[in-house]
Each structure stands twice: as structure tokens, then as C-alpha cells.
Amino acid sequence: MAERVFNLPDLGEGLTEAEIVEWLVEDQAEVSIDQNVVVVETAKATVEVPIPYAGRVATRHGSTGDVVRVGAPLITVSDNAPATQAVQGEDGDDGSGAVLIGYGTGHADQTRRRRAPRGALNGATDRSCVDATASLPSAFTQQRAPQVISPLVRKLAADGGLDLRTLRPASGTVLRRSDIESALSARTNKQSAEPEKSVVAADGDERIPLAGVRKAIAEKLLASRREIPDATTWVDVDATELLAVRAQLKSSGISLLALLARFCVAGLQQFPELNASVDGDTIVRHKQINLGFAAQSPRGLVVPVVRGAQEMTTRRLAEALGDLTARARTGDLSPGELTGGTFTLNNYGVLGVDGSTPILNHPEAAMLGVGRIIDRPWAVDGQLAVRKVTQLGFTFDHRVCDGGSAGGFLRFIADAVEQPVRLLADC
């Protein structure tokens, strides 16, 4: 009886490893083509992985909490059923509908993959631009009852200490987020699980593993500090008129963040050398303005990306920002929505601070920071007045431009903040 080893497939976005969150099958269990067999967590998202052929589970390579490298054995199955799917690595037929990078649409040689900083685009792929993080087709979710399709639902239940096998959907056969939230509300004495596994030493020190999203962030920050010679410049501006315009447009759903994003897009169109990155000895000026912005999520600070922001009206930009912000708060963003940025807007004023010298979001070449807006004395037409003042900070990669371009961009944004109607008239 032949055995087949299913290796952890390439999950895209340059990711090189994943942590086993939960096995969905037991040893000796029968599995079918495209059945989800394991839940893994990468630095970008939690993903249910389907197997591309049928058989009986012979070996599960790893336990919950283990980190598995891409291409390493994940699960071995005994081939005791008629083969309807090509062996992994060969051209697939119609047996598997699974579309994870690495199999199902033809598997490229894994030796072509080169290690890149997490969050970097993997330019080596030619697999029809398949996004392994997109929602899987319904055929992939055929599991034992109760069915759980969303990785977010599994994570929410795990964080609340709930056993999915004890829950039943309020309607239908699929457990949804509302079912988990109802169960958590009914257990008012249940404490939330710790987000990280930690060990308390004899001397009382707590040791928390640098893993998952925190590890990815650390690697990216190190790459930025190691590779990018950055500089920061700043200016105080009168934001009184900006707040007045925001108040007038609030009923239209246009937020302060959306107005600042509009100013950034207009500024980058005036100074395209800042919408760039450095690749080896080459400066790459990006045609698209993919605007990232800092947002809080259940997994910590993330940077969702509004793609093609230069094509959007202010209203459409506000809608995109609002949608990404809402889904960041629920942890419902895909890895594809957290990568590919060309410029970052960091509104750290919401944290109650005036200024910062941030680390650039590698491999981007520039970032605009906005501090809190507070009452300060300000000279207006030669008279002292109390105005709404904020500090704008601009951090840039000195390889892509000199201080003239950086200062010009920052002054452009400052003028837009002080006289927003003039710029918005053309948007």
C-alpha cells in the first residue's frame, strides 16, 4: 500500500513557515480530496489547508504549536483509495479544486523560491497570480458537523476557551461568529485566553516567545533599520480649517483620515520620486499609489493597503479606508490586503502623542506621521490666537531623494492642512 507525503504548500506573499494551530483530522482518519486537514497561522493570516488527494491518515508531521517550513512534510496518507489527483509537484487534473499556491494549478519547483523579508512581494511566482489567502471555495469546507468555515471563527472560539465540538449553530449547519459571541456571552465567568504563550521563570521574569505576527514585525523592522538610511523632518501646522472642513463633510462619511490620505495622494503625484522603493542598486518608482495606513487589530498594529488610491475620489477613498479599518478591528483582513504598499500614512496622534521618528515600513521609501491636534497659541495676521495645531513628521529614504524633495512634499501637505478647500476643489 503506497503512501503519499503532502508537504506544506507555498502560501504566497514570500512566507516561509507556518505554525500549526489545529489539526482537523485524527490519525487513521479517512480524508477526501480538498478536505481541510489542518489550520495553520502565518505572519499574515490563519488559513485552513486542504489536501489534494484522498486516503487514510498515516502520520501527522507536527503537533499544535509546532512551526513547519514551506516544503516540509505536513501529513502522510496511505493511498488506499482510487487516485483521482496527480501527485504533488506534477501537473494537476480536475480532481482537486484547491487553489493554494504550490499545488492544484501546477506546482513550480520550490528551489526557485528565495527568502525575502515578510511582507515583501514574491516576484518569482508565475502561478496565474493566485492568492492563497482568498476565501476558499465552499467545496473546501465540507467537514464533519458542526462545520466551521471561517478561520476567524476558530480563532475567536480558541481565544475564548470554547470547544467547537460542544457548540451548535443557531441556524443551518455552519458555526458563525454570532454563535461564538453568544456562547461567550453566556459564560460570563470565562476569562479570555492569553494571546501569547509565556513562561514565568523562578525569579519572576516572564519570557514570551517572539513568534507569529510579532516575529514578522521584528524581522521587518530589523530589515528597515539595517537597509534604509532614513531621515526625518517635521513642521507644526494650523489645522483649524481642516477640522472645520471635516465637520462639514462628516455627514458624507469623509473622515479626518480620509482627508489626510487625499493630501498624501496629491502630494505623491507632485513628488513621484517619493512613491518608491529600492531594489538592490535600483530605485523603483511605482506607477500605482498603494496607500498603507496604521490600524489596530486583534493581532496588533497592522498596515492595510488601499490599492490604486490615485484613481479614487475623496469619497471613494474614505469608503475604502473605512472598510479596511473595520475589518482590521475584527481581524478579517487577508494577507493580500496587508502587503504591497508604496507609502504609509501614520496617524499616531490618536495615541495622544505629538511627534515621532518612526521606522519606515520596509521596503517603502517614505512615511507621513500626524500628531495629535490640540489648542495652542498661534500668530494669525500678527495677532496671538488659540488655534488647533498639529505636528507633521516626514520620514524618508535618503537614497531615493534629497532634502529638497522631502521638504517640498512636507510643505505641500502642510499647506493642504492649513488651506484644505483649495486642494479639495480639484479632487
- The whole-angstrom separation of Cα 63 and Cα 216 is 22
- The whole-angstrom separation of Cα 232 and Cα 369 is 10
- The whole-angstrom separation of Cα 54 and Cα 263 is 54
- The three three-digit cell numbers of residue 403, written as one number: 532634502
Residue of 227, 235, 269, 232 lying closest to 366 (CA atoms): 232
Catalytic residue among 61, 286, 362, 398: 398
Predicted local distance difference test score (pLDDT) of residue 81: 46
Q: Give 64-115 as a 3 state SS string.
A: CCCEEECCCEEEEEECCCCCCCCCCCCCCCCCCCCCECCECCCCCCHHHCCC
Predicted local distance difference test score (pLDDT) of residue 313: 93
- The whole-angstrom separation of Cα 140 and Cα 160 is 25
CB atoms within 10 A of CB 419: 14
DSSP 372: -
Predicted local distance difference test score (pLDDT) of residue 149: 53
- The three three-digit cell numbers of residue 398, written as one number: 535618503
Predicted local distance difference test score (pLDDT) of residue 147: 61
398 carries an active-site annotation = yes
What are the average pLDDT values for consecutive 10-residue runs of the chain, which has 427 residues? 85 75 91 88 77 90 89 87 41 46 37 35 34 35 49 71 75 71 57 51 81 76 92 96 94 94 97 94 95 85 93 95 92 83 94 92 95 96 95 96 95 96 81
DSSP 362: T
DSSP bridge partners of 288 = none
Q: Is the peptide bond before 117 cis (omega within 30 degrees of 0)?
A: no
Predicted local distance difference test score (pLDDT) of residue 144: 42
CB contact at 8 A, 11 and 100: yes
User: In this structure, which amino acid lies at residue 85?
Assistant: Q
Q: Which residues contact 351 (CB under 8 A, 6 or more apart)?
A: none
Predicted local distance difference test score (pLDDT) of residue 215: 77
Predicted local distance difference test score (pLDDT) of residue 208: 82
Predicted local distance difference test score (pLDDT) of residue 83: 40
CB contact at 8 A, 395 and 366: yes
What is the rounded radius of gyration, in angstroms, for the C-alpha atoms of the chain?
25
CB contact at 8 A, 39 and 154: yes
HSE toward the beta carbon, residue 284, CA cutoff 13 A: 12
